[in-house]
Amino acid sequence: MKWKCCLLLAFLLLACSQETPQTGQAPEPQAFPDQESWNTTVLITKDGKTVGVLKAGHVQKFSKKNVTLLDENIQVDFYDEFGNHKSVLTAQGGRINDQTQDMEAYGNVVVVSDSGVTLYTDTLKWDNKKQEIYSEIPIMLTTEENDTLYGDRFRSSPDLINYEIINPRGRSSKKIDLE
């Protein structure tokens, strides 16, 4: 019985011991954001006109790396040059290149256009210079006419009106003239 108590005591001492890391160094300052905010709304403009409104539950800006990280339910509303709403993007997270203003959205990315087209992918990028969205991974696109298209890559205007699908396949009710 005595050896069982000793064994139990030894087990408890080992289970409760905690190793403290002995690095002797503080984390690098770059590991922490220069700015951090919650429930943030950011206007995206081009030539003084609003082309997008970004909302994120959590934003971290890293000035030395020229990167802004977004998480906690990303939403971007896109507008045309006249201020008319065109589409809305939702995603779990994102990353912005602060120099180019290019963006990458990731995690259950969905873009719903006001014209009725919906795009689904896991990663979608915004090219600020070209003012277009693109995906280099598989996508699924649905239309109001119940067309469902799949592709290996995708490129489009943010309103999903003029789009290009690489290696398209799926089901469509539209007739195509092959001549």
CATH number of the domain bearing residue 37: 2.60.450.10
- Residue 151 inside a domain? The answer is yes
Q: Could you say which DSSP state residue 27 is in?
A: P
Cα separation, 23 vs 27, whole angstroms:
10
Q: Tell me the pLDDT band of 125, cut-offs 50, 70 and 90.
A: very high
Averaged pLDDT, 5-9: 42
- Give domain status of residue 116, yes or no: yes
Per-residue pLDDT tens for 74-84? 999 999 888 99
Asked whether residue 177 is domain-assigned, the answer is no
Domain span at residue 65?
A: 31-171
In a domain, 6, yes or no: no
CA–CA distance, 71 with 68 (Å, rounded to integer): 10
In tens, the pLDDT along 130-169 reads 989 999 999 999 999 889 999 999 999 989 988 999 999 9
96 part of a folded domain: yes
Give the pair of three-digit tokens for residue 161. Answer: 């009106």
Show the tokens assigned to 59.
């934003």
16 domain residue, yes or no: no
Task: Flag whether 12 is in a domain.
Answer: no
How confident is residue 5, by pLDDT bands cut at 50, 70 and 90?
very low
Query: Kind and range of the H or E element at 5?
Result: helix 2-16
pLDDT, average across residues 5-20? 44
Mean pLDDT of all residues in the chain? Answer: 85
Structural domain count of the chain: 1
Least-confidence region, from 16-20, 38-42, 92-96, 100-104: 16-20
**pLDDT confidence of residue 169:** 94
Distance set, CA 66 to CA 28, 30, 46, 88 (Å) = 16, 11, 19, 25
pLDDT value, residue 139:
98
**Alpha-carbon span 31 to 132, nearest angstrom:** 31
Is 24 or 116 the better-scoring residue by pLDDT? Answer: 116
| 178 falls within a domain | no
Please choose, from the candidates 51, 87, 91, the residue with its C-alpha nearest in 3D space to the C-alpha of residue 72.
91
Average pLDDT of span 35-41: 95
